[in-house]
Amino acid sequence: MHYTERPAASGRQAPIIQRKHKRPMTQTTVEKLVIAISSRALFDLSESHKVYEEQGLEAYQQYQIAHEDEPLAPGDAFGLVNKLLNLNKLIKASRVEVILLSRNSADTGLRVFNSISHYGLNITRAAFCGGDSPYRYISAFNCHLFLSTDGGDVRLALEHGVAAATILPSKVSSKQEGQLRFAFDGDAVLFSDEAEQIYKASGLEAFTASERLAANQPLSGGPFKHFLAALQQLQMEFPPGEAPIRTCLVTARSAPTHERVVKTLRAWNIRIDESLFLGGMEKGDFLRAYDADVFFDDQEAHCESARNHVATGHVPSGVANHKKVSKD
């Protein structure tokens, strides 16, 4: 979410659209954290994808089969996936699983599984969909998060109530040691976009006034609420201060609109380790200072800035991502 000074819109305030997620927003016990990852997010498939775009499907299939014994280079989400899987060693139990979802066929996808074996990644389950979107298997695998380079697949996952983000290209490599550090935007990511709708329709002054009045009314959950709750349950496996996972809220909100956020998390019984209320400042330097492994935001501009510092996932959710309809 992005808040900047601008005059409030004249006239009556636009109605707030309440969006319902198909998955109920209640906190349940998580036996295992399940992450779904696309093959192009896990590995660098740019070379073979170029063959597909320039020469077609048959040439692509021949290329992958001819190179199936050559390990693929790590992709933009490789470091994050590796650190996620390493949590099982720290917890000393199988509490995290990564599922591979791919538009490849099993035949062309053999190179992907060979690369998984090459890097020693404990990924054993997969769905190869032969050119179709793999989103329909996300719920069947009981996934909490889906990461992909395909924005269309990500939108479909979000529409079906699963936290999802488009992993953006980044030159920043995730460190393989230390805590696994997640950073989240607030509105339209952890929370619904109900407050952001007021800002977009009527400006900063109206947004601030509305949030003051609603300070004691918890915000509805956003697409990443369940994922944050699942992370907290993993954190609780460890003594205070010793968890290998850390979470941070990085929001453009500032006082006095921070109060509703704090009370919302309290009402949800969800604890977040750090909270940064930046009042519209650029987020990149703060994400670097926090040493985030990955950051999730609904604003494309924020994502573009952040990916210069950390691995970044764009969450195409909320009013900021509505397609504009031309008035002809």
In DSSP notation, 115-141 reads HHHHTT-----EEE-TTS-GGGGTTTT
Report strand pairing: 163-167 vs 311-314: antiparallel
Contact 222, 189 (CB under 8 A): yes
- CA–CA–CA angle 141, 46, 116 (5° rounding): 45
Which residue, of 119, 146, 167, is where some domain finishes?
167
| Residue where one domain finishes, among candidates 167, 202, 223 | 167
**Are both 110 and 217 inside the same structural domain?**
no
Peptide bond before 256: cis, by omega within 30 degrees of 0?
A: yes
**Could you tell me the sign of the dihedral formed by the alpha carbons of 319, 315, 22, 194, in that order?**
negative
**Distance from the first to the final alpha carbon of the chain:** 30
Within-domain flag for 134 = yes
Is 23 part of any domain? no
Q: What does the alpha-carbon distance between residue 61 and residue 77 come to, in Å, rounded to a whole number?
A: 24
Question: Residue 135 and residue 132: Cα distance in Å, rounded?
Answer: 9
Is residue 117 included in any domain, yes or no?
A: yes
CA distance 103 to 148: 11
Tell me whether residue 289 is in a domain: yes
* Residues 142, 205 within the same domain: no
* 171 exposure class (CB count in 10 Å sphere: 0-12, 13-18, 19+): exposed
70 with 100, same domain: the answer is: yes
Do 278 and 160 have their domain in common?
no
Among 132, 167, 202, the domain boundary falls at 167
- Residue 54 phi, psi (nearest 5): -90, -30
Residue numbers of the domain that contains 210? 180-317
Alpha-carbon distance 168 to 79, whole Å? 14
Do 163 and 185 lie in a common domain? no
Q: Which two tokens stand for residue 327?
A: 């008035």
What's the CA gap between 47 and 136, in Å, rounded?
Answer: 27
Same domain (yes/no): 64, 111:
yes
How far, in Å, are 12, 251, 281 from residue 278 at the CA level? 29, 6, 5
Q: Could you confirm whether 285 is annotated as catalytic?
A: no
194 and 160 within one domain: no
Contact 36/146 with Cβ under 8 angstroms? yes
Q: pTM of the prediction?
A: 0.86
Per-residue pLDDT of the chain (328 residues; tens, 9 = 90+): 554 433 334 343 444 434 434 443 344 566 899 999 999 999 999 998 899 889 988 899 899 999 999 999 999 999 999 999 999 998 888 999 999 999 988 988 999 999 999 999 999 999 999 889 998 999 999 999 999 999 999 999 999 999 999 999 887 766 667 799 999 999 999 999 999 999 888 999 999 999 999 999 999 999 999 999 999 999 998 888 899 999 999 999 999 999 999 999 999 999 999 999 999 899 999 999 999 999 999 999 899 989 989 999 999 999 989 864 333 3
In a domain, 266, yes or no: yes
> Which residues does 241 contact at the CB level (< 8 Å), separation at least 6?
none
Same-domain status, 129 and 248: no
Structure tokens at 223: 């697409």
As for how many domains the chain has, the answer is 2
Query: Is residue 322, in this structure, part of any structural domain at all?
Result: no
**Which of 185, 187, 293, 298 is an active site residue?**
185
Residues 205 and 234 in one domain: yes
